[in-house]
Structure 1
Amino acid sequence: MRLLFISLNYAPEPTATGMYTGELCEALAAMGHDVHVICANPYYPEWKLAPGYRNIGWRSELLNGVTVHRCMCWIPSKVNGATRLAHYASFSLTMLLPLVGRIMRKPPDRMFLIAPTLMPAVFAAPLARLRGIPTWIHVQDFEVEAGFATGQMNKSSLLGRLAGRFEQLMFAGFMRASSISPEMCKKLIQKGFSEHAVYELRNWANVDRIVPQEASSYRNEWGIHTPHVALYSGSIAKKQGIDLLFDVARHLESRGDTTLIICGNGPDRSHLEEAARNIPNILFRDLQPAERLGDLLALATVHLLPQKAEAADLVLPSKLCNMLASGRPVVAGAHAGTGLAREVEGVGINVAPENAAAMSEAIEFLLDHPEERRRLGKCARQRAEERWSKAAIIERFEREIALDSIQKAAG
């Protein structure tokens, strides 16, 4: 099949939506599909243009079997609600040229939009409908509700009401929809999709590459002398609530046996580093190369997954699956009954979100009970193998696309 993906973020971005969309498209191309992607130049998570790319004009490249059409777009130096919207809008305009060219010359058998961001749907959905192309939206993050949850928009304000209405209109332009957790799929149904039109396409762990290991070379490389490490590894943005970890580190400081490491990049990092400069047991490190991710995750005695309370069912953090694959327990900020809490139950400890005292207590329990820590770590690895296998997830998705195409041709 000829498959067209529209995704603001794409490989070689090392994390989040860009990484997962890249791996998905490359796997589909390896299965024999003709895969094209319209995307921006790589910039995430640093919000800076990646070396080797020019943010001028349009260009195409063949990347691991996928034809990638790169579009220039504005990358803000300071990220807030207004600049993020302008960033999304700029891509939605510049992607129009390659989109029209692709749809008119050789229409795909199916078009996918990866959200964030919904904005390209303004043009993409009507053009696809005009050409009779089946459409599918895959939601990694409910950007409008996430904006409400992080305080970037007020739900009752005029802007908030307009954003909600915009989301509703954009979703209405797609025949199928998918998201990364059962709770997020339920939200798609609440937003107007029929149950049979919604599919769960969860993110995955590289369970063959990330395996439990006893020690990490990062311990010597970074000069870590404490017996224990509490590790957060991922993007650094408002929905994560990273500043909570400062109070956690202060609480753990008196033990003298634990270093808290925040490993990642993002628009809020410089401010957070400044705020934490007088906390001696916190280290900030850059996001590490993908090929060293297993070694990095092995550094953890326990993984940390803070989350804003309001964001618990709006996004399932993609970093969780690799944490589990590393065979270490997770302490997560999630209320009982949320999607994140259900994923962590039995492989770690859930605590009230945005509660530093509760997270500190859970960390200390795991540090002081090594047998329970090892038991949860083994369960975490088993769950990663059962639920988060990359090959199995993508193969099921490919079968779903093929079955959907057969049904549409028959009906």
Structure 2
Amino acid sequence: MERERMNVLIVGLNYAPEPVGIGPYTTGMAQALAAAGHGVTVVCGKAYYPRWELHAEHRAPGVLRAIEYGVTVVRVPHYIPTKPSGAKRLVHHLTFMLQAIPAALRAARHNRPDVVICIAPSLISVVAARLVARRTGARLWLHIQDFEVEAAFATGLLRDGGVMARLARGFERWSFAATRISSISPQMCARLVAGGVAPERVIEFRNWADIDTIRPMTGPSAYAGEFGITTPYVALYSGNIGNKQGIEILIDVARLLAHRTDLTFVIAGEGALLAQLVAAAQGLANVRFEPLQPRERLTELLGLATLHLLPQLAGAADLVLPSKLTNMLASGRPVVATASAGTGLAHECEGCGLVTEPGDAPAMAAAIEALLDDPEARARFGAEARLRAEERWSRVAILDRFETALRACVVAG
């Protein structure tokens, strides 16, 4: 029997062609729903991430509309700070929300939605999503990639206490009045329930690994030659270089391991803290910075790693689950992460590498050395990482479960 078609409106700041972060997952979700026969419209910002610079193909003024892989994509202009601070980020999100409201209302008039999905960040865009849902009688689904408000406090973008803190937390509680709320890990879902959201309204909707395209490499990566790396071992960090990662610890670790002439640290990415990180690494011969590489060469890039590096701030535990972990695991390489015991990141990395306390550079350096000197452990952890990706992070399985839950939300409310 043919399954009933749904009309889905997605409101989310980040979308393709952004190569990292939330954008690829919102894009994958929208395209999977369209491929399943549903009518899908996305209202998003013009691409800017992770460089915080407007992509060349989106520099035309005004709203841009296109059909991409069966998805109607409406890109609205918004403020993009070149050096994002707390206040500038707030304006960045606010301008997207203000532009998204009329764009989403027009999209809803053209194709009345059965469900409106809001992606957080940007949490403030739930204003647009909720307005459309109320006017059309659609279900409202909030998908939380990051607990944006608490992460802003944890990373120092907002000061806790005072009027702004009360307003931010009050807005977050207001935002949670959705038909369904999903998040990307069991711990983040538990946080929602602990915050008063009814358990039956909470859905786990993980990010996924590209396990079909990202495969463990058995030979050397071409990137070793392209980057001019001559050491037998590479410790790789790849992705956004921003304020939620606690990435500064990697420079301290590299300094502690400067005596390891057999090891190169490669930091491949872009983001708001890149210049600061490059300055901190001055004089370190064992650290290389490279730009983000084409997504179609992700297997080669991840295969460059002897081991992957995944730092996380202590204050961000269970407020975010780094999306880059999924493809790290798929590459079949061990992970050295910083995470406190009992957190979601520590749980996901268990058996796939070594985990040390956030901010403890000597402990992270010792973990890296231990793996470099134990090839059997590296092989064991790498094999488990790949198995973990296949068992927990399958794109097809995750998106199939999400579509089923979305359909149930539309039917049952």
TM-score, structure 2 length as denominator?
Answer: 0.97
Residue in structure 1 matching 2:221, options 199, 216, 223: 216
Could you tell me which of 339, 348, 354 is aligned with 1:343? 348
Once the two structures are superposed, residues 120-159 of structure 1 have per-residue CA deviations (whole angstroms, 9 ceiling, x without a partner) of 2223313312321100000001110001110111222321
CA contact (8 A) 2:129 2:140 kept: no
TM-fit CA distance, 1:365: 0.4
Q: Does 1:266 align with 2:271?
A: yes
1:130 aligned partner: 135
Q: Does 1:404 align with 2:409?
A: yes
Q: Give 1:356's aligned residue.
A: 361
Inter-partner Cα distance in structure 1 for 2:382 and 2:292:
23
* In the alignment, structure 1 residue 158 sits paired with structure 2 residue 168: no
Q: Distance in 2 between matches of 1:54 and 1:304?
A: 35
SS of the residue corresponding to residue 240 of structure 1 reads coil
| Contact 2:224-2:230 at 8 Å conserved across structures | yes
Contact 1:179 1:202 in 2 (8 A): yes
Task: Please state how far the C-alpha of 1:237 moved relative to its aligned partner.
Answer: 0.6
Match of 2:3 in 1: none
- C-alpha offsets along residues 78-113 of structure 1, whole Å, 9 cap, x if unaligned? 101000000000011111121111223331010000
3-state SS of paired residue (2:402): helix
Deviation string 1:333-363 (CA, Å, 9 cap, x unpaired) is 0011000000001111110111110000000
Q: Of 194, 203, 206, which aligns to 1:202?
A: 206
- CA drift at 1:395: 0.7
The 3 A distance-change label for structure 1 pair 53 and 126 is closer
Q: Does 1:140 find its partner at 2:145?
A: yes
2:197 maps to which residue? 193
Are 1:294 and 2:296 counterparts? no
Q: Which amino acid is 1:31 matched to?
A: A
Report the number of matched residues: 407
> SS of the residue aligned with 2:15?
coil
| Aligned sequence identity (%) | 51
Q: Name the residue aligned to 1:366.
A: 371
The amino acid of 1:10's aligned partner reads Y
Cα deviation, 1:227-254, whole Å, max 9, x if unaligned, reads 1000011100111111111111011110
Q: How does 1:386-397 map to 2 (within 5 A)?
A: 386-397=391-402
Partner of 2:12: 7
Q: Distance in 1 between matches of 2:260 and 2:212?
A: 36
Task: Please identify, of 355-364 and 185-194, the stretch whose mean Cα deviation from structure 2 is larger.
Answer: 185-194
In 1, Cα distance between the equivalents of 2:99 and 2:131?
17
* Counterpart Cα distance in 2 of 1:23 and 1:122: 24
User: Relative to structure 2, which stretch is displaced further, 156-165 or 66-75?
Assistant: 156-165
- In structure 2, C-alpha distance between the alignment counterparts of 1:317 and 1:150, rounded to whole Å: 15
Shift of 1:55: 5.4
Ranges in structure 1 where 5+ consecutive residues have no aligned partner: none
* In 2: Cα distance, 1:244 partner to 1:123 partner: 38
Separation of aligned partners in 2, 1:383 and 1:372: 16
Q: Which amino acid aligns with 1:163?
A: A
Separation of aligned partners in 2, 1:62 and 1:148: 38
Q: Does 1:184 align with 2:203?
A: no
Q: Which amino acid aligns with 1:354?
A: G
In 2, are the aligned partners of 1:316 and 1:340 still within 8 Å (CA)? yes
Shift in Å, 1:255: 1.6
Equivalence map 1:59-70=2 (5 Å): 59-70=64-75
Among residues 319, 323, 338, which one is paired with 1:318 in the alignment? 323
Gaps of 5+ in 2: 1-5
SS of residue in 1 equivalent to 2:16: coil
Q: 1:89 to 1:191 in 2, by over 3 A?
A: same
TM-score by length of 1: 0.97
Determine the structure 1 residue equivalent to 2:98. Answer: 93
Matched residue, 1:329: 334
Q: Hey, what's the Cα distance between the residues in 2 that align with 1:111 and 1:262?
A: 38
Aligned mate of 2:45, from 40, 44, 60? 40
RMSD of aligned Cα (Å): 1.1
State the AA in 1 paired with 2:68. Answer: L
Contact 2:113 2:136 in 1 (8 A): no
CA separation of 1:355 and 1:55: change in aligned 2, threshold 3 A: farther
What's 2:385 paired with?
380
Aligned letter for 1:127? V
